[in-house]
Structure 1
Amino acid sequence: MSVGENAPNGAMLHYVLPDTTSKEITLTIRDAKGDSVITYSSEKDPKGEPFTVDASFHLDSLHRPSPQALTKLKGLNTFRWNLRYPDAERLEGAVMWGGGTSGPRALPGTYSATMKVGTDSATVPLTIISDPRLTTSAADLQAQFDMIQKINAKTTEVHKAIKRIRTIKQQVSGVTSRFADLDTATSKPAKELAKVITDTLTSIENELVQTKAKAGQDLLNYPVKLNNKIASLADVVASADYAPTQQSIDLYNELSRQADAYLATIAWVESAKITEFNTAIDALKLPAVAPNKDGK
């Protein structure tokens, strides 16, 4: 049966290279004010992390390590901007039900795309046109956009906190294994502090993310936790082209309050208990737990 193919969803950007290049190519989308919306690269993802290639999978037909990578081939190249702002922080291995980390869609208006190859650059204008069938006001669409950004920012906070919890637990476990054979009286303070830190952080981690779920259907047996509740709220707000409802705003405020309480406890563990633990293991001539850097 012959079937048609829908046009690609997003802004199609075409560029011609005189030859295949080893130089990094970047594409920056800016809004009408000139503020950066998102930057794509041939070498890094939009968060600035180098692309990693999974050796167990083949690259796509364009030999890209990721759909977000710009191609660098001789002749005509094409890149599709999906009209979205950057995603919220992902949590590898986390199973989500009815929620994700996608960034909000860009609002109707004027934008620009600037491509750089080495020292050469070129800029073209872009215009996003509102669906003519919509009667939603610009103010309501802006309110929806702002709410999704706020929700994603909280999701990012929570996911970074979970990553930090796991880093601390790994470091504490590594240190405690090194003094397991030391004299009990000498190592007792450090062992007790290690247990308090590990137990406290594990308790918080289990409230922030469902650690038992390994596949989507597992969430039928194990309830979703706070990160999933927050992330799924973004999908609810984005489900129609309208301003967020008061119920969504109220739910966000409640979930955010819960998240902030857990984040405050993590900060207390780092400022108080980790400091005490580092003092205790310093007496044992062992390396300290590294401080948090850049909120990661």
Structure 2
Amino acid sequence: MVSIIEPSHFDAYTAFVAVINNRDSTPYIYRTRDGGNSWQKITKGLEPGRIARVVREDPQRKGLLYAGTENAVYVSFDDGDHWQSLQLNLPTSAVRDLAVHDIDLVVATFGRALWVLDDLSPLRQATTQIASSNAYLLRPAMAVRVRWDNDQETPLPPEVPTGQNPPDGAIIYYYLKSPSPSAISLEIRGAAGRLVRRFSSEPPPPDKTIKNVPDYWFAPLVGIPKNAGLNRFVWDLHYDPPPTLQYSYFGNTLNFVEYTLSGHAIAGDTPREQTLGPLAVPGEYKVVLTVGDQKLTQPLAITLDPRVHVSQADLDWQFETTMKIEAGLKSSYDAFSELAALHKEITERKKKLASDAQAKDAADAIRDLEMQADAIQDGSPASPGIGPINRDLARVAFMVESGDAAPSGAAQSAIKESCNGLTKHLAEWRALQTHALPVVNARLEKYKVAPLPLASTGTAKTADDPRGDACQP
């Protein structure tokens, strides 16, 4: 009985058939190259005693075949002359059909439901050149920019069985002949070479933040892999997350990270960042893999979700707006951290001055300085300080990035108000450091108390930093 007839995608006279003999468990797959006048048996490498039920040809690479037998999936790179197992983590089960859907291989099993091998790029690009290279970066398949559903019915209890979604973003494969003794890096760059995001095999620093939920909810902190053989890394198409301060839903400052787990809460895979960087706009990018002295480059195309209808101009406007907000988030975060460090120093100086009754002028001066710093850092309901502005900018960033559209009028008004307030307070902070701080330090030195240092916790902006120079309305 002929189970499957698979005409070739490349040659009108070539076809493949899988044949079942009900009284014989031997696998039978045949190939014709002359329109069916003659047939050649092609089963070398298939496990004997296992019926072959299906054979399919890859529509993009000539000679690449897939076969399904009574217990496994196989692949051939030479038009069926030789087969090897493609089982991976697929449970042992009868494979009744196979289908190549874009870049995926869909496997229909008997009793084990449907399974999907995500991204056939490594198989389509596999050559002897890759195997003989010390390092090789494969060309990524086109990435589709799809936004998450913000109304998922999560969290589910960790003990509830859940499926696994396909990788979300750009799937990047690279081959290493042996484990790299030194760190490797992976960079995403725009068409003009501007850095979008950088990843390293160095393990990230431990997450020491205090959270209101158990740590088992979150995705593990790991660097990109650098193992011998084929490695895979998935970039989620987001830029780096901006630094944000911790505020409750009602606007109160917190000394811990408050997670609601109202969306995307999957045990072991929940994002740690509540404010993500903006999504990369559709277009052409480059992937750069650095292994030792080698720099390997491949192009990467990002396309818009085909269900979304929006102009490139609106997406560019949205992206530029978000990057301006992120510039404000960074500058407000750095200034808030500097002010917090100054407050700690002020507290120490006040303790020392309290024991000296003659130092009233210095105590008054440092108290006035503290009040000025408080006004800049926290402000008032009528004039929010740098901290509340950081909170408001994070909220408006979420609003701007919540869909594929140009920023709304309400968002633009909120950005303008926050950026104007931030510009004012940053100028006040610079003036305080330039004028008020030296006066206070002169009083402190008079009583042999160490001067207040000019705290600086901000990170320097590099030439590759994609964020703007300032928060702009």
Give, in whole Å, the separation in 1 of the partners of 2:327 and 2:426: 14
Amino acid aligned to 1:24 = A
1:206/1:58 CA distance change after superposition, 3 Å = closer
Q: State the shift of 1:71 in Å.
A: 2.4
Kept in 1: contact 2:341–2:455 (CA 8 A): no
Partner of 1:80: 234
Partner of 1:89: 243
Partner of 2:400: 237
1:208/1:70 CA distance change after superposition, 3 Å = farther
1:43/1:280 CA distance change after superposition, 3 Å = farther
Kept in 1: contact 2:334–2:457 (CA 8 A): no
Q: Given the alignment, which residue of 423, 433, 440 partners 1:277? A: 440
Q: State the shift of 1:94 in Å.
A: 6.2
What are the residue-to-residue correspondences of 1:227-266 with 2, within 5 Å? 227-266=390-429
Partner of 1:221: none
Give, in whole Å, the separation in 2 of the partners of 1:65 and 1:89: 20
1:180/1:21 CA distance change after superposition, 3 Å = farther
Partner of 2:371: 199
Amino acid aligned to 1:71 = P
Partner of 2:451: 288
Q: State the shift of 1:268 in Å.
A: 2.3
Structure 1 unaligned residues grouped into runs of 5+? 46-50, 210-223
Identity of aligned residues (%): 27
Partner of 1:7: 166
Deviations 1:64-92 (CA, angstroms, capped at 9, x unpaired): 9724x222333332221111112212336
Give, in whole Å, the separation in 2 of the partners of 1:19 and 1:85: 30
Deviations 1:269-290 (CA, angstroms, capped at 9, x unpaired): 2222211122222223333222
Give, in whole Å, the separation in 1 of the partners of 2:220 and 2:396: 31
Give, in whole Å, the separation in 2 of the partners of 1:178 and 1:43: 44
Give, in whole Å, the separation in 1 of the partners of 2:197 and 2:236: 11
Q: State the shift of 1:29 in Å.
A: 0.7
Partner of 2:54: none
Give, in whole Å, the separation in 1 of the partners of 2:178 and 2:379: 53
SS at match of 2:353: coil
Q: Given the alignment, which residue of 151, 163, 182 partners 1:23? A: 182
Moved more, 163-172 or 151-160: 151-160
Which is higher, the Rg of structure 1 or of structure 2? 2
SS at match of 1:110: strand
What are the residue-to-residue correspondences of 1:41-60 with 2, within 5 Å? 41-43=200-202, 51-52=205-206
Partner of 1:219: none
SS at match of 2:423: helix
1:132/1:59 CA distance change after superposition, 3 Å = closer
Kept in 1: contact 2:245–2:390 (CA 8 A): no
Q: State the shift of 1:103 in Å.
A: 0.9
Partner of 1:214: none
Q: State the shift of 1:24 in Å.
A: 1.6
1:52/1:94 CA distance change after superposition, 3 Å = closer
Q: Given the alignment, which residue of 298, 319, 323 partners 1:149? A: 323
Moved more, 123-132 or 138-147: 123-132
SS at match of 1:225: helix
1:267/1:174 CA distance change after superposition, 3 Å = same
Give, in whole Å, the separation in 1 of the partners of 2:362 and 2:442: 9
SS at match of 1:129: strand
SS at match of 2:352: coil
Give the number of aligned pairs: 271
Amino acid aligned to 2:168 = N
1:242/1:178 CA distance change after superposition, 3 Å = same
Normalising by structure 2, report the TM-score: 0.51
Give, in whole Å, the separation in 2 of the partners of 1:274 and 1:268: 9
Give, in whole Å, the separation in 1 of the partners of 2:181 and 2:448: 48
Give, in whole Å, the separation in 2 of the partners of 1:21 and 1:158: 39
Structure 2 unaligned residues grouped into runs of 5+? 1-111, 114-161, 247-254, 261-272, 382-386, 460-473
Q: State the shift of 1:259 in Å.
A: 2.2
Partner of 2:199: 40
1:175/1:73 CA distance change after superposition, 3 Å = farther
Deviations 1:194-228 (CA, angstroms, capped at 9, x unpaired): 2112222234333499xxxxxxxxxxxxxx93322
Partner of 1:113: 287
Q: State the shift of 1:53 in Å.
A: 5.9
SS at match of 1:112: strand
Larger strand proportion, structure 1 or 2? 2
Normalising by structure 1, report the TM-score: 0.79
RMSD: 3.3
Partner of 1:213: none
1:230/1:97 CA distance change after superposition, 3 Å = farther
- By relative contact order (CA 8 Å, sep 6+), the higher-ranking structure is 1
Kept in 1: contact 2:337–2:457 (CA 8 A): no
Larger helix proportion, structure 1 or 2? 1
